[in-house]
Structure 1
Amino acid sequence: MSAEVTRSTTRRARAALGAAVAVCAVTVALPGVASAEPAGARGAGVERISVAADGTQADGDSADASITHDGRRVIFSSSATNLTADAASAGASVYVRDQRTGQNQRMGDLSPIGPPVISGDGEYIGYAHQWITNVRIRQYQMSTGRTASLNCSAYTCDQASLNTDGRYTAHVVRYPRQPTFGQRIEVQDWNNGGANQNVAVLTHSKPSKPSISGDGRYVAYQDGQTEDVFLWDRTGATTSGPIEGPDKAAALVQLSDDGGKVVYLSGSDTYVHDVRTGTAQLLPNAKGVAIDPTGRYLLYAPRDTSGPALTLRDLRTGTDEIISDQPASAGTDAVSTGGRDVVFQSAADNIVPGDTNGKSDVFARHLY
């Protein structure tokens, strides 16, 4: 791995927390990306996303939702066979729902391995899938119908993270037939003939998780064997970390869209590392889940099981908004800009009226 490694050990404990961005998978362009409708058009409340265009309930389980920065499009996986006319009769598929039109689009014929992802501007989606004996990351471009796979050669690649416009894909490359080779983190530039830049070589076989900033400059990743989190500056060719300091285990959640904040877990707590100051904010006894693109709103799961399942915190004011008081879970990229929308999954049947399908559904809570 390239160069100067610095360590940050200073921290501050606060009730309000901060930032990130991460993910995994392939890519697809979506037609006519536009800004989200005015706040009053949809209004505050919660709606079920995993339904057919006519509102028919999904006949299979749905999960793994992510949302675009403007809140217009939601990507998720589902085993349902009635969400689109071309839905598969068996196995999971990836869908994108346009919240403005209420239409779903099925993305490819391959079953996803892990959560699918969508670029922040809604132009591309991506997901990992089985390819013979390996795993590949497949990209789709909806406006042209073109598809492409990451340049993984004969190896396995997964856990992709897309930057805002989908140009850069950070991902993990593994050597399944030669585990002693460990794995590496790469960034693929789709505008440069699919050229790969090696971010880090990790001489172990435990999972690592990359998360790329909106402009593609920074990549946060986790060394699964040492349980450390690092930040790579692709422009300066420098690596900082472990950002949690020495003698402390950490697991990456997300890197913020501007590359300024890294959210990570350590023990039962969540920390937000400020890249500029080298300090960290603490949210005790909570599991950080996702951060909005501005780094102001943090979605977290309180570890106190008697409370709500998911809560959104305004890190500037320290105020909380309950997202779900029923059992629920969410992944990275679950919060739109400004904390306006949050997507999550739940098998509860009382989040919206008339939920009788007995399946896990994807929901969106609109806060204003």
Structure 2
Amino acid sequence: MNKHTMRPLVAVGLTLGVVAVTAATTGTATAAATVDRVSVGAAGAQADNVSGGGIPSADGRYVGFTSNATTLSPQDENLVADGYVRDRVLGTTELVTVGTGGKASGGLVNDVSADGRYVVFTSSANDLVANDFNGMSDVFIRDRVAGTTEIVSVASDESAAQQRSLDASVSKDGRFVAFTSFAALADEDSSSSNQDVYVRDRTAGTTQLVTITRKGGEGGGKDPSISDNGQFVSFTAKSKDYVKGDKNKAHDVFVRDLTKKKTERVSVSSKGEEAAKRSFESQIAGFGRYVVFTSAAKNLAKGDTDKKVDVFVHDRRKDKTELVSVDSAERQAKGPVVTPSISADGRYVTFHAGEDLRAGGKVTDSLYLRDRNAGTTKPLNNRIATGGSVISGNGAVVVFDAIRGTVVPDDTNNLRDVFAYTR
């Protein structure tokens, strides 16, 4: 996913739509930071419709995103949402929701592999691969190097899903893809109509159930995030049958070890106390040690004194849970905090807060970067980010959505666009 450690972003001349970000414009202390617009065509053409859902590669060079625009690629003639990958070094934009023959079919980008080669996306099109007759949304993976497109949301015997599949996450090398499906794609899920999480091993050609209970049945779940090596998958579920002692009757965040065939709950306090309220929006970092998530519970970590949604990081090695939606003085954000993202090493966490965490700040929607090692929290914008944000695996690039035309000087389309903030 966006959690992979790779070489630093190559410093080249990004001339189109790039603006230097200073303390005067965003409140950050890093004068060398830059922001460039990602949702543009190869020749710099602005999008003529909304764009969003940006996902960076491990070093931030490549950014996958979805757009309703028709001006980003000459291949796009279908008048529906399509997925693209922007190469921020070469300044190229590639249409990726296409079949092996290159025909645009539409779809939503879900994730990008570490090196940007593989893109997983969801599409209801029936012409991306042969024999796709289910009439449902499926999960596909595009190999940008080989120019091939492969369906992922199938059973181990290659039989098609008979219900919709969506919301995919890819391992570092593109071999493993986690996704959710309402279809029964494994023997343990032969009679269920719940939404469950699966992992497709593209090398072995197998599909296994992730949301499997202690008794061996399916328990339901969603929002998967897979580790770099494909061994661990975090997900959200309400079932009480994954671990012993689950009595809160609320959604929790779990991690499944696909090698040891064990599931643990991570939305717990450092003492192992279960969350008093629901937890969700998880992302697993790097090789699976850290998991970031949001929760409305106030009994998970010290310093959480309100009943609003906050962001936490659970260290699976030390069994410690930390409140990270705080300012540099460890004061808790008073507004709801959402859409967290974490770097591969677990050091950096980004989140949106409904309160300005700077001294004397006002209530607003701002994007922040928490450095867990330094204990600091810095704003990355001046109330310009309006959609979800994702940090690259190396922690150097944060991709976000924004509507304002003041992020870069040549933004005149008055539409939601995707931007990349380089620290």
One fold, TM greater than 0.5? yes
Asked if 2 retains the 8 angstrom alpha-carbon contact of 1:21 and 1:255, the reply is no
Match of 1:258 in 2: 287
Asked if 2 retains the 8 angstrom alpha-carbon contact of 1:296 and 1:338, the reply is no
Under a length normalisation based on structure 2, what TM-score does the superposition of the two structures give? Answer: 0.72
Asked if 1 retains the 8 angstrom alpha-carbon contact of 2:196 and 2:219, the reply is no
Q: Deviations over 1:31-90 (max 9, x none)?
A: xxx955544755631111111222221111110100001111010011111112212351
Give the letter for the 1:249 counterpart: R
**Are positions 1:130 and 2:127 aligned together?**
no
Match of 1:316 in 2: 373
Match of 1:71 in 2: 60
Higher Rg of the two aligned structures: 2
Once the two structures are superposed, the pairs formed by residues 1-368 of structure 1 within 5 Å of their partners are: 35=7, 37-39=9-11, 44-107=33-96, 108=98, 109-113=104-108, 115-130=109-124, 132-150=134-152, 151-152=154-155, 153=160, 154-175=162-183, 181-192=193-204, 194-201=205-212, 208-224=222-238, 226-241=250-265, 243-244=267-268, 245-246=273-274, 247-267=276-296, 268-282=309-323, 283=325, 284-285=332-333, 286-304=337-355, 306-307=363-364, 309-331=366-388, 334-367=390-423
- Describe the shift of the 1:38–1:91 C-alpha distance in structure 2 as closer, same or farther (beyond 3 A): closer
- Describe the shift of the 1:89–1:239 C-alpha distance in structure 2 as closer, same or farther (beyond 3 A): closer
Give the letter for the 1:191 counterpart: T
- Describe the shift of the 1:204–1:190 C-alpha distance in structure 2 as closer, same or farther (beyond 3 A): closer
Bigger CA drift: 157-166 or 237-246?
237-246
Bigger CA drift: 78-87 or 286-295?
286-295
Asked if 2 retains the 8 angstrom alpha-carbon contact of 1:183 and 1:201, the reply is no
Work out the CA distance in 2 between the residues paired with 1:205 and 1:199.
9
* Percent of matched pairs sharing the same residue: 29
Work out the CA distance in 1 between the residues paired with 2:339 and 2:193.
32
Q: Deviations over 1:257-316 (max 9, x none)?
A: 120111111112111111011110013433352112221111111121624521111111
Asked if 2 retains the 8 angstrom alpha-carbon contact of 1:65 and 1:330, the reply is no
Give the letter for the 1:277 counterpart: K
**More strand by proportion, 1 or 2?**
1
Displacement, 1:206?
7.3
- Describe the shift of the 1:21–1:77 C-alpha distance in structure 2 as closer, same or farther (beyond 3 A): closer
Under a length normalisation based on structure 1, what TM-score does the superposition of the two structures give? Answer: 0.82
Bigger CA drift: 262-271 or 123-132?
123-132
Question: How many pairs align?
Answer: 333
Give the letter for the 2:198 counterpart: E
Q: Deviations over 1:6-49 (max 9, x none)?
A: xxxxxxxxxxxxxx968xxxxxxxxxxx9555447556311111
Secondary structure at the residue paired with 1:75? strand
Asked if 2 retains the 8 angstrom alpha-carbon contact of 1:183 and 1:204, the reply is no
Work out the CA distance in 2 between the residues paired with 1:278 and 1:79.
43
Give the letter for the 2:225 counterpart: S
Give the letter for the 1:186 counterpart: Y
Asked if 2 retains the 8 angstrom alpha-carbon contact of 1:308 and 1:325, the reply is no
Displacement, 1:317?
0.7
Asked if 1 retains the 8 angstrom alpha-carbon contact of 2:182 and 2:195, the reply is yes
Give the letter for the 1:111 counterpart: G
Bigger CA drift: 82-91 or 271-280?
82-91
Give the letter for the 1:156 counterpart: R
Asked if 2 retains the 8 angstrom alpha-carbon contact of 1:21 and 1:211, the reply is no
Displacement, 1:331?
3.8
Work out the CA distance in 1 between the residues paired with 2:383 and 2:232.
36
Work out the CA distance in 2 between the residues paired with 1:167 and 1:72.
21
Q: Deviations over 1:222-243 (max 9, x none)?
A: 1046401111111222111253
Work out the CA distance in 2 between the residues paired with 1:356 and 1:262.
38
Displacement, 1:156?
2.3
Asked if 1 retains the 8 angstrom alpha-carbon contact of 2:314 and 2:322, the reply is yes
Match of 1:15 in 2: none
Work out the CA distance in 1 between the residues paired with 2:169 and 2:119.
10
Work out the CA distance in 1 between the residues paired with 2:218 and 2:259.
26
Asked if 2 retains the 8 angstrom alpha-carbon contact of 1:21 and 1:213, the reply is no
Q: Deviations over 1:135-156 (max 9, x none)?
A: 2101221222222112152232
Secondary structure at the residue paired with 1:186? strand
Work out the CA distance in 2 between the residues paired with 1:147 and 1:338.
28
Bigger CA drift: 94-103 or 282-291?
282-291
- Describe the shift of the 1:319–1:40 C-alpha distance in structure 2 as closer, same or farther (beyond 3 A): farther
Asked if 2 retains the 8 angstrom alpha-carbon contact of 1:228 and 1:249, the reply is yes
Bigger CA drift: 265-274 or 336-345?
336-345
Asked if 2 retains the 8 angstrom alpha-carbon contact of 1:170 and 1:187, the reply is yes
Secondary structure at the residue paired with 1:355? coil
Asked if 1 retains the 8 angstrom alpha-carbon contact of 2:311 and 2:340, the reply is no
